[in-house]
Amino acid sequence: MITISNLSKSFTLHNQGAAVIPVMAGANLAVSAKECLGLVGASGSGKSTLMRMIWGNYLAASGSIIVGDVDVAKAAPREIIALRRGTLGYVSQFLRVVPRVPTVDVVAEPLLTLGVGADEARGRAMALLAQLNIPERLWSLSPTTFSGGEQQRVNIARGFVHPYPALLLDEPTASLDAVNREVVLSLIEAAKARGAAIIGIFHDEQARARLCDRLVDVTQFTPKAVQ
Amino acid sequence: MTDQTAYNFAYLDEQTKRMIRRAILKGVAIPGYQVPFASREMPMPYGWGTGGVQVTAACLVPEDRLKVIDQGADDTTNAVSIRRFFQRTAGVAVTEATAEATVIQTRHRIPETPLTEGQILVYQVPIPEPLRFLEPRETETRKMHELEDYGLMHVKLYEDISRHGQIATAYDYPVKVEGRYVMDPSPIPKFDNPKLGGNAAIQLFGAGREQRIYALPPYNEAISLDFDDYPFAASKADHACDLCAAPDSYLDEVITDDQGSRMFVCSDTDFCASRRKAGHVGPMGTPMAGG
Amino acid sequence: MWARWAHRWQGADVDTSIWAKMKTQPLLSVRDLSKFYGGRIGCAGVNFDLFPGEVLGIVGESGSGKSTLLSCLAGHLAPDRGEVIFATAEGPRDTVLMAEAARRRLARTDWAYVHQNPRDGLRMSVSAGGNVGERLMAVGARHYGQIREAAVDWLGRVEIAADRVDDRPSAFSGGMQQRLQIARNLVTGPRLVFMDEPTGGLDVSVQARLLDLLRGLVREMGLSAIIVTHDLAVVRLLADRLMVMKGGYVVEQGLTDQVLDDPQHEYTQLLVSSVLQV
């Protein structure tokens, strides 16, 4: 489902003396359906960077990122948007939403852009929010005023409301208590079972052990000079 | 007898008449389209019918019989002046009888008596552009006519209905000619609009100050603009003529004393007089002598 | 208009080849578009394809050429070089070479232009209902009741109270005037909307409300849009793609979040790092 070949990336900071910072070289990995791959490595080694490159948020310097049948590294913007709509889901560490949209609409949005009817979309959103223990009285409020844990759960709900064939999860259980961590882990397991290919970053060792079929250490892709 | 050697026939020189006739031909070829022409200085100020006079002057031949009306009346100051002007400069016969005239110059009314083939009706037009009050730019209105972009015209009618509950335009009511150009029929009351379309006479419109001529050839279609649910209604005062008892002619309301008493009389003086001559008498009329 | 059509066919087992072709043909193709003012460059060598449903943001500072570019695209200015090919009902046509009549017809039906100052895009002496209804009447609507109903419906969609339908725009606040301008432009379901700084000059809270509205309408109607702005927050919210302009040239273009989060060009990096965070 997701195949990365010979991927490399560097940042060039033009306004800081044109400093070139190579962050990745020769990265290779593959994830198939029903598989969960864990990315490990020291902080700053490039785990989130790799994830953002798969999502299309960061540009690759060379190499290919095949998700389904689209090479994200070379695709046109509209192809990436179409991919993000139906095929590739992303739960990032930070919830970035429009400040005035109610939580239930934030979660329902991926379904609405796919053409699902408003009532059905909201219904599914509400079911997930309930599963993640977000109190009903918060559903009509914007998540910008929520606590970190609540925002994280809204983020997760949005990532799981549509059954994406491929999922990117960046620290999905951080800032969650034991009860909600359990809910999220079972959501991920369910996604795996129905055929999703998952790449995840988990700092929590137990979660890693439970979910990941394989682990990849990204420090092996960090260019030697920087190490 | 007047000294005719002082002026060319009908005042205008031949070149000018030729230019105006060319403009008239263009107007007749494109019904409703405003043809620019080089309006001449006439011995009357702008706003007193210079356009109509120039069109009439270009059309007149010595055999013509001219009728001039102002608001339907043959005996008001303007009608008298213009008639006398053409008597002096063209020496044509004049008449007050609509049926006997070959050229009729009118300000703001169409005669009640139906016109026939071979007659020419010349209108005096103040502002020829129907869109002028909505769109002041000449560049824009020309483009609107060229592109048949008449949405704005209906906006005006829409505004009337939203403000007054009905289309409030009572005169100068725009018409669409032969399904193409929107035309300003001059400030005739909307009661007269139905007479524009399917008329056997040639109708010519002259605007002297604005320098435009346009035409409605015989039997051409001129449909008053309206909405499907607010159709055009040719309305008049709900009254019959007090002098001749005509039920369906356009009426003038005349205040007869300081207490506010009023009477309604036909605006078309010739029409009223003919009816009275034929024996019709209205509630305030007296039988005409020599019927 | 297109969204309605697409929605009808979605899920139906029909000949999707035409529909698929429509989706893969660009709505607007711009090639080497350039405009010069004597020796000065207005804009130069602009190339891009815009597909149905895509929103393109054009950002740059004053003098970058973004407004010149928008004017050339929308047919308000004649470019000195280049093509602007639009997918009309009769096939792709270069709008630069079109007769003015045809271009104006396009501007009345398939295109819409939202001016920065709403007064430039409204008839101030005509009521709100008349403003919204004008485009309908221009394409042949002749039933007063239906026109008024459509106008009231659209006023509702842009969050203007129905009882203001007979008020003149001169009685509206700036934000309301801008929303009225949007309603007036969208009522005939255009396929491509040009917006010139749609939130410029508005108070921040009013801007926010307007942006939410635009997002909703663009998504709902499946519009393509080209939005010129100097405000990066506006593009992040509204645009799928982004073009950064400097000195008349396009220095970078790509996916909006990619250009903003991973800017490659020196100028883009400067722009992004200059934005104040609240």
Q: How far is A98 from chain C (nearest CA, A)?
A: 8
> For C38-55, how does the pLDDT look when each residue is reduced to its tens digit (9 = 90+)?
889 999 999 999 998 899
Say which residue the tokens 């950064």 belong to.
C244
Reported ipTM: 0.87
In sequence order, the 6+-apart residues with CB closer than 8 A to the CB of A6 are: A26, A27, A28, A62, A63, A64
pLDDT score, position B4: 53
Neighbouring CB atoms inside 10 A of C15's CB total: 9
Rank B3-12, B47-56, C215-224 by mean pLDDT and report only the highest: B47-56
C139 touches B at CB < 8 Å: yes
Helix (H) or strand (E) segment spanning residue C132:
helix C128-138
The verdict on whether B59 is a catalytic residue reads no
Do B146 and C108 lie within an 8 Å CB cutoff?
no
B154 touches C at CB < 8 Å: yes
C79 touches B at CB < 8 Å: no
Task: Give the pair of three-digit tokens for residue C153.
Answer: 């419906």
For residue B123, which of B167, B171, B168 has the smallest C-alpha distance? B171
pLDDT score, position B65: 97
> For A97-148, how does the pLDDT look when each residue is reduced to its tens digit (9 = 90+)?
777 888 998 899 889 888 888 899 999 999 999 999 999 999 999 888 888 8
Nearest CA in chain B to C133: B155
Q: What is the reported pTM?
A: 0.82
Query: In the predicted model, is pLDDT for residue A9 greater than 70?
Result: yes
Q: How far is C88 from chain B (nearest CA, A)?
A: 18
Query: In the predicted model, is pLDDT for residue C208 greater than 90?
Result: no
Q: How many CA atoms lie within 13 A of B150 on its CB side?
A: 22
Indicate the range of A121-125, A197-201, B235-239, C9-13 predicted with least confidence: C9-13
Q: What sign has the CA pseudo-torsion A50, A56, A62, A68?
A: positive
In chain C, the percentage of residues whose pLDDT exceeds 70 is 91
pLDDT score, position A160: 92
In the predicted model, what is the mean pLDDT of residues A161-175?
90
Interface test with chain C among A14, A21, A79, A116, by most C beta carbons within 10 Å:
A14
Identity of residue A22:
P
In chain B, the percentage of residues whose pLDDT exceeds 90 is 82
> For B109-168, how does the pLDDT look when each residue is reduced to its tens digit (9 = 90+)?
999 999 999 999 999 999 999 999 888 899 999 989 998 888 888 998 999 999 999 888
Task: Give the pair of three-digit tokens for residue A44.
Answer: 């700053």
Query: In the predicted model, is pLDDT for residue A227 greater than 70?
Result: no
Do C261 and A112 lie within an 8 Å CB cutoff?
no
pLDDT score, position B71: 93
Q: How far is B109 from chain C (nearest CA, A)?
A: 29
> For C129-151, how does the pLDDT look when each residue is reduced to its tens digit (9 = 90+)?
999 999 899 888 999 999 999 99
In the predicted model, what is the mean pLDDT of residues A83-101?
84
Nearest CA in chain A to C258: A57
Flag whether C touches B (3+ CB pairs, 8 A cutoff).
yes
Nearest CA in chain C to B228: C143
Q: How confident is the model at residue C109 (pLDDT cuts 50, 70, 90)?
A: confident
- Distance between CA atoms of residues B52 and B24, nearest Å: 12
- Distance between CA atoms of residues B174 and B187, nearest Å: 10
